[in-house]
Structure 1
Amino acid sequence: MGAQQREYKKRIRSAQGMKKIFKAQEMIAAARISKAHARVLATTPYADAITRAIGSVATHSSDLEHPFLEQDRTSTGRAGILLITSDRGMAGSYSPTAIRMAEELANKLRAEGKTPVMYVVGRKGETYYRFRNRPAHRAWAPYREEELGALGAEIADVVTADLLSTDPAVHLDELYAVGTRFVSRFQQFARATRLVPIQVVDGSETGTAPTYPLYEFAPDAEAVLDQLIPRYLESRIVNILMQSMASEHASRQKAMKTATDNAETQIRKFTRLANSARQAEITQELTEIVGGADALAGSGRKER
């Protein structure tokens, strides 16, 4: 076997090994999407229901005041951005798209005279800002998929404390969340959502203001709101985490399917080149044999 043929055989084995890895990752991601989607379906109605409840309280209590309902919270000019990224690679454009949207949002806030403060979930986002000497104010990495509920509660506690802080170096006027919304296995898109100040119609996906029923609040509307708003922030953050995780699995499945197809293309390419090299070696050997026989015949000598 010639050196060229050996090189092609080596590349074929390498591509076959990578194909097995990509195929395994694709199958794992496909198996996890269903569970992740089920968690999204379980958390979304709860988050929307709390939003509607807050809307009902705010609508029927015009004199009610809460720091998270104040539309003009200009105090320190600091705006928090909660960025959700992946903890692992091989997920295609999932993390880069979310990071790009967070950077666009940060630039927009700077243009408005505000100071973005980054809260990052996932190694990809944390590494992105640390590599550029702009470390996040707070980072959660690594994290485990089965602990997203507890992670969401922890994040909600941290950002709530910063939103309500009286320290100008810590206080946040606004809070945005940048994550990836899961629509289906084939459709996911990054989006930025303002969580604080709370918009009463945030829970409505139709774009029209909902009609709230009449309620009687006990002991009073303010006490009810004090209980609802922390739950609102936690439920929204948990839901964004769940949607982002489902989107990550879907993005990884698509990326690994493309990588598997590319590996198969490389295997076919190098197999064809190896066959061509083998045929060229055979042809060269035959040519040398025939040439040697002709040379013997022309000299008049006979083989013994």
Structure 2
Amino acid sequence: MAGGQERILRGRIRSVQATKKITRAMELIAGSRIVKAQQRVAAAVPYSEKITEVVRDLAAAGAGQGSPLLAGRDTVSTTCYVAIAGDRGLCGGYNAGVQRATEGEIKADVLAGKQYVVVPVGRKVEKYFRFRGYQLSQAFGGFSGAPSLADAKAIGAYVVELFTSGQVDKVELVYTRFVSAGNQEVVLRPLVPLTVETVAGGDGKAGPADAPTGDYEFEPDPSTILDSLLPSYVEARIYAALLNAAASEHASTQRAMKAATDNAEELIKSLSRIMNRARQDSITTEIMEIVGGAEALGSGNVKDPLPRDPQSVVETVHTHGGHASVG
């Protein structure tokens, strides 16, 4: 029985060791991808800041009064939530954070008697809301680990069309902002309409009221420039959100895989101790059986029908698999 238990434990240890190799490899891969994702986030910051500054100055100059992207609705009855998550799992609570945040906003709208629609970006968030029967619009996915500007343009064109056609009255982004490799936070950022407060702070944050503005001369007129820049501004905002989400996903994957590797190491140690204890018990039991058998043969307590000459005793011991010395 002990031998069977030892074989079972050896099999479990081999299985956990194989899993540990996989999680360790995934941890290293995610760690290498974090660096590239951070570089992409940092490279996109100057463009995002500059286009935000230009749009803010154009809006301050009185441009875009008739632009549909700047014209807010008197009554917001339908809100579009662009939920950005991952295409894969094994990343800890990354996907669940975006799902919970979006779900909380939806429940608040339902309680207030308002309508909603979800634009899922990422296969995991799409499956989550589709399985639970939420109202979904067009889904985007397949690029959560390495988004491109073309992906941001496709999402931007779609949500702008939803807003300008009157299907929704407001568009908001729900994604995970990358602060550092050890810190990410789920944020909710307004995207459309582009109010003065939204544009002033960039990335959906309200800027200070006394923020300095530049003195520019625009050619052609500010309204024409703003009309051409607003779609690019929306794309830049979405692209920044996608890059932040990708970096956050890699960071969450690295942490989750490191935790899994550490847990596998602890499980291997625990199983090894149990297996060694079982093997030691098995060896001790075998020794006790051999010693007991030898003592029984030596003391003559066992009735032996065979002749008691020395050669016969030796042959009997060998037949029973034991070892004894004949005096």
- CA distance 1:117–1:96, change in 2 (3 Å): same
> What amino acid does structure 2 have at the position aligned with 1:271?
S
More displaced 10-residue stretch of structure 1: 61-70 or 105-114 = 61-70
Q: How far apart, CA to CA, are the structure 2 residues paired with 1:63 and 1:6?
A: 76
- CA distance 1:248–1:16, change in 2 (3 Å): same
Partner of 1:179: 175
Partner of 2:193: 197
- CA distance 1:179–1:90, change in 2 (3 Å): same
Identity %, equivalent residues: 39
Larger Rg: 2
Q: How far apart, CA to CA, are the structure 2 residues paired with 1:95 and 1:144?
A: 11
Instruction: Write the mapping of 1:1-40 to structure 2, written as runs, cut at 5 A.
Output: 2-40=3-41
Q: How far apart, CA to CA, are the structure 2 residues paired with 1:141 and 1:89?
A: 14
- Aligned-pair CA distance for 1:131: 1.4
**Contact residue 152 and residue 239 of structure 2 kept, 8 A:** yes
Partner of 1:299: 301
- CA distance 1:214–1:34, change in 2 (3 Å): same
**Contact residue 126 and residue 135 of structure 1 kept, 8 A:** no
- CA distance 1:224–1:60, change in 2 (3 Å): same
- Aligned-pair CA distance for 1:146: 4.2
Q: How far apart, CA to CA, are the structure 2 residues paired with 1:141 and 1:206?
A: 30
**Contact residue 23 and residue 256 of structure 1 kept, 8 A:** yes
Partner of 1:100: 100
Q: How far apart, CA to CA, are the structure 1 residues paired with 2:146 and 2:245?
A: 14
Instruction: Write the mapping of 1:80-99 to structure 2, written as runs, cut at 5 A.
Output: 80-99=80-99
For structure 2, list consecutive stretches of 5 or more residues without a partner in the other structure: 315-327
Partner of 2:163: 163
- Aligned-pair CA distance for 1:121: 0.8
Aligned length: 299
- The DSSP-based 3-state class of the residue aligned with 2:255 is helix
Q: How far apart, CA to CA, are the structure 1 residues paired with 2:300 and 2:216?
A: 113
Q: How far apart, CA to CA, are the structure 2 residues paired with 1:252 and 1:145?
A: 11
**Contact residue 37 and residue 246 of structure 1 kept, 8 A:** yes
> What amino acid does structure 2 have at the position aligned with 1:121?
V
**Contact residue 73 and residue 174 of structure 1 kept, 8 A:** no
- Tell me how large the CA RMSD over aligned residues is: 2.0
- The DSSP-based 3-state class of the residue aligned with 1:120 is strand
Q: How far apart, CA to CA, are the structure 2 residues paired with 1:63 and 1:239?
A: 24
- Aligned-pair CA distance for 1:144: 6.0
Q: How far apart, CA to CA, are the structure 2 residues paired with 1:70 and 1:200?
A: 13
- Aligned-pair CA distance for 1:228: 1.3
Q: How far apart, CA to CA, are the structure 1 residues paired with 2:72 and 2:161?
A: 19
1:120 aligns with 2:120: yes
**Contact residue 64 and residue 227 of structure 2 kept, 8 A:** no
- Aligned-pair CA distance for 1:143: 2.7
- Aligned-pair CA distance for 1:111: 3.3
- The DSSP-based 3-state class of the residue aligned with 1:87 is coil
